[in-house]
C-alpha cells in the first residue's frame, strides 16, 4: 500500500511529560498532537501500546491485544469522578527525564484499582451498558487476558508455567475455580482495558481532526509469559510443561557480535496454516482498528526466521527456517479490506524477503544513520538511492540519537576505531559539510536531507528534533536495565523547532 508524501515524529506515549512518572493518554498527549499539527507533521508513530512485561519492553508484552494500563490518564479518571482529587494530591517526586517503572507501578496500580471499584459501585446504566458491550465485543481476547493477569497476580507475578499445574494447563475445573475466586480482580482488569481504549479512541480522534495519522507497531513475536501463549499453547513450539523448545532472535549484527537472543517462543506455522491463520487475522484486525498504519517489526521473519534451541546462552548457534511467506499475506488480503503495512526490512535481508514486500507493495524502511557503515547494504540507506514507496528515518528506536551516534565512537556497536573514522569522513563528504557544522547540528542536517528525499514517508525520533545525546536513547538492543525509560521534559516543545520543521514541510512538499 502506498502512502501520501508526508512527514512525522516517532515518540512513544510513555515518553510524554506529566506529573505521574510516566506519559499518559491525557492532556500532554493532546498537547503533543497540537504541536505536531503546528509543525506540519502528518504522522505520529508510537511503539507497541500493549501491557509491558519483562524488562518493561513494549516488545515483551503480557498480551498482543490489550492496552497498557499504565498509559491510562489519572486526571481523566478524576474528571469522571472515579478518583478523588485528594488521591492525586500526594504524588511521589518522580524523575522527569526517565520512567522509574517500579515506582510508577507501585503508585499507579492502587489508584487504578480504586477507580475500578468506584466504577462498579457507581456506574450509571448507560456506563454499565458501554462496559458490558466492550466486554462482549472483545471477549475473544479479553476474557483470557483478564483471567491470565488476575491469576498471575495471585501467584505473585511468576511465569505461568510456575503456576498451579491445573490452571497452567487450563483445566476446565481450574478455570472455573479461578474465575469465581478472582472475579473482582478480573473485572478490574477488564475495566482498565475499557478505559484504555476509551481514552485511546479520543486521542486518535483528536489526531484525525488535526490531519494526523497514527502509526503503530506490531512485533512479529509475542512473549512466552503472555496470555497469548498461555491461551494458545498449541500454536507455539513448547514442551509438555509449556516451556519453549525453540526461541527467536537474530544472528550477529551491527549491534551485537553474538547476535540478539530475544527468547520469544517460535510459532507452529504448520498448525497456523491449517486453521487459516485465524490468530494472525484477528491480531492484524485489532491493530488496524487501533492505528491508521502499522510498522511490522522484523518483517523478514515471515519469509525465514532465526531459530535458536532453547537454553543457548547467545543467538550464535541458530539456523534459518522458512516461514509462511506470501501465503500469510494472501490470506490477510482476502479477509481484511486493506493492509496499511510498513515492512521493517532492516538487517539480513534476502531477495526472497524483498520479493514478498514488492508483491504486496509494502513500503520498506531506510535508516540514514546506517548509510555510511561498513555493512554491504549501507548504500541503500543513502537518500540518493531512496525510492518513493519507502519510510525513511534519521534513526529508529533501536538507534542512538543523532548527536549520540556522532559522538559515540565505538561504544554502541561492533565497529572498530578505523570503521568509525571512515564512517565520519564519508558522512562529511556525502553531506558536503565540515566536522564543525556536524558537531553543531548533526540532527538538523540529517533531518533536512531525509526531508528533501523522494521517500514518500519520512519520520524522526523526537530526540533528534530536540537535539539530545545518548542519555535520551530509547533502546540499545541486547542490553537490559536502561531501556525504554526516556521522557521528554515539560518545556521541551520549543516553538523554534516547530517552525523549523514547518519550513521543511513547506519547502519539500510534505
Active site residues: 297, 344, 398
Phi, psi at 100, each rounded to 5°: -95, 90
Tell me how crowded residue 437 is: count the other CB atoms within 10 A of its CB: 14
Q: Decide: 215 and 46 in contact? Cβ < 8 Å.
A: yes
Beta-carbon contacts of residue 252 (< 8 Å; ≥ 6 apart): 258, 259, 315, 316, 414
Q: Decide: 292 and 214 in contact? Cβ < 8 Å.
A: yes
- Pull the grid cell for residue 133: 458491550
Give the separation between CA 507 and CA 485, rounded to whole angstroms: 34
Give the separation between CA 43 and CA 453, rounded to whole angstroms: 17
b/e sequence 82-102, b meaning 16+ C-beta within 10 Å: bbeeebeeeeeebeeebbebe
Length of the chain counted residue by residue: 510
DSSP-based three-state secondary structure for 303: coil
Tell me how crowded residue 74 is: count the other CB atoms within 10 A of its CB: 22
Give the separation between CA 102 and CA 116, rounded to whole angstroms: 21
**Local structure of residue 250 (DSSP, 8 states):** E
CA dihedral 135, 141, 142, 145 (to 10 degrees): 170
Nearest Cα to 467, choosing from 492, 491, 484?
492
Q: Is the dihedral of CA 286, 156, 154, 86 positive or negative?
A: negative
- Pull the grid cell for residue 15: 515518553
- Pull the grid cell for residue 56: 518493561
Nearest Cα to 365, choosing from 330, 337, 397, 338?
397
- Pull the grid cell for residue 422: 571512515
Phi, psi at 236, each rounded to 5°: -135, 155
Nearest Cα to 393, choosing from 340, 430, 351, 344?
344
Amino acid at each position: 500500500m502506498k502512502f501520501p508524501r508526508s512527514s512525522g515524529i516517532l515518540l512513544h506515549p510513555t515518553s510524554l511529560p506529566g506529573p505521574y512518572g510516566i506519559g499518559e493518554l491525557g492532556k500532554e498527549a493532546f498537547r503533543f498532537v497540537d504541536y505536531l499539527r503546528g509543525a506540519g507533521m502528518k504522522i505520529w508513530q508510537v511503539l507497541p501500546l500493549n501491557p509491558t512485561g519483562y524488562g518493561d519492553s513494549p516488545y515483551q508484552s503480557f498480551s498482543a491485544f490489550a492496552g497498557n494500563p499504565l498509559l491510562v490518564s489519572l486526571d481523566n479518571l478524576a474528571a469522571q469522578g472515579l478518583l478523588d482529587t485528594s488521591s492525586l494530591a500526594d504524588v511521589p517526586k518522580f524523575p522527569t527525564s526517565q520512567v522509574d517503572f517500579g515506582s510508577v507501578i507501585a503508585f499507579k496500580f492502587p489508584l487504578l484499582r480504586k477507580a475500578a471499584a468506584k466504577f462498579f459501585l457507581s456506574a450509571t446504566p448507560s456506563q454499565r451498558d458501554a462496559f458490558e458491550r466492550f466486554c462482549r465485543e472483545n471477549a475473544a481476547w479479553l476474557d483470557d487476558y483478564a483471567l491470565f493477569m488476575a491469576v498471575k497476580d495471585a501467584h505473585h507475578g511468576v511465569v505461568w508455567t510456575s503456576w498451579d499445574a491445573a490452571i497452567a494447563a487450563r483445566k476446565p475445573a481450574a478455570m472455573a475455580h479461578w474465575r469465581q475466586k478472582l472475579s473482582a480482580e478480573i473485572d478490574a482488569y477488564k475495566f482498565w482495558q475499557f478505559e484504555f481504549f476509551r481514552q485511546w479512541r479520543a486521542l486518535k480522534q483528536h489526531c484525525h481532526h488535526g490531519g494526523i495519522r497514527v502509526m503503530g507497531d506490531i512485533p512479529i513475536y509475542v512473549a512466552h509469559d503472555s496470555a497469548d501463549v498461555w491461551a494458545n499453547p498449541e500454536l507455539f513450539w513448547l514442551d509438555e510443561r509449556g516451556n519453549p523448545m525453540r526461541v527467536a532472535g537474530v544472528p550477529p549484527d551491527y549491534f551485537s557480535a553474538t547476535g540478539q537472543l530475544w527468547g520469544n517462543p517460535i510459532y507452529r506455522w504448520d498448525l497456523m496454516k491449517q486453521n487459516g491463520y485465524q490468530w494472525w487475522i484477528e491480531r492484524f484486525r485489532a491493530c488496524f482498528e487501533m492505528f491508521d498504519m502499522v510498522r511490522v517489526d522484523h518483517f523478514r521473519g515471515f519469509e525465514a526466521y532465526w531459530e535458536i534451541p532453547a537454553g543457548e546462552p547467545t543467538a550464535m548457534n541458530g539456523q534459518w527456517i522458512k516461514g509462511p511467506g506470501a501465503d500469510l499475506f494472501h490470506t490477510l488480503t482476502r479477509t481484511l479490506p486493506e493492509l496499511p503495512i510498513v515492512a521493517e526490512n532492516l538487517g539480513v535481508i534476502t531477495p526472497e524477503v524483498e520479493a514478498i514486500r514488492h508483491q504486496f507493495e509494502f513500503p520498506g524502511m531506510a535508516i540514514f544513520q546506517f548509510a555510511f557503515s561498513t555493512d554491504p547494504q549501507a548504500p541503500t540507506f543513502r537518500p540518493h538511492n531512496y525510492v518513493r514507496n519507502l519510510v525513511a528515518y534519521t534513526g529508529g528506536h533501536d538507534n542512538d540519537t543523532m548527536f549520540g551516534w556522532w559522538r559515540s565512537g565505538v561504544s554502541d556497536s561492533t565497529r572498530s576505531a578505523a570503521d568509525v573514522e571512515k564512517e565520519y569522513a564519508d558522512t562529511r563528504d556525502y553531506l558536503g559539510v565540515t566536522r564543525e557544522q556536524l558537531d553543531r547540528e548533526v540532527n538538523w542536517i540529517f533531518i533536512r536531507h531525509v526531508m528533501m528525499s523522494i521517500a514518500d514517508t519520512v519520520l524522526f525520533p523526537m530526540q533528534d528534533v530536540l537535539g539530545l545525546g545518548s542519555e535520551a536513547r530509547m533502546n540499545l538492543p541486547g542490553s537490559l536495565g536502561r531501556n525504554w525509560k526516556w521522557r521528554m521534559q515539560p518545556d521541551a516543545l520549543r516553538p523554534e523547532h516547530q517552525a523549523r520543521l514547518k519550513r521543511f514541510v513547506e519547502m519539500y512538499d510534505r
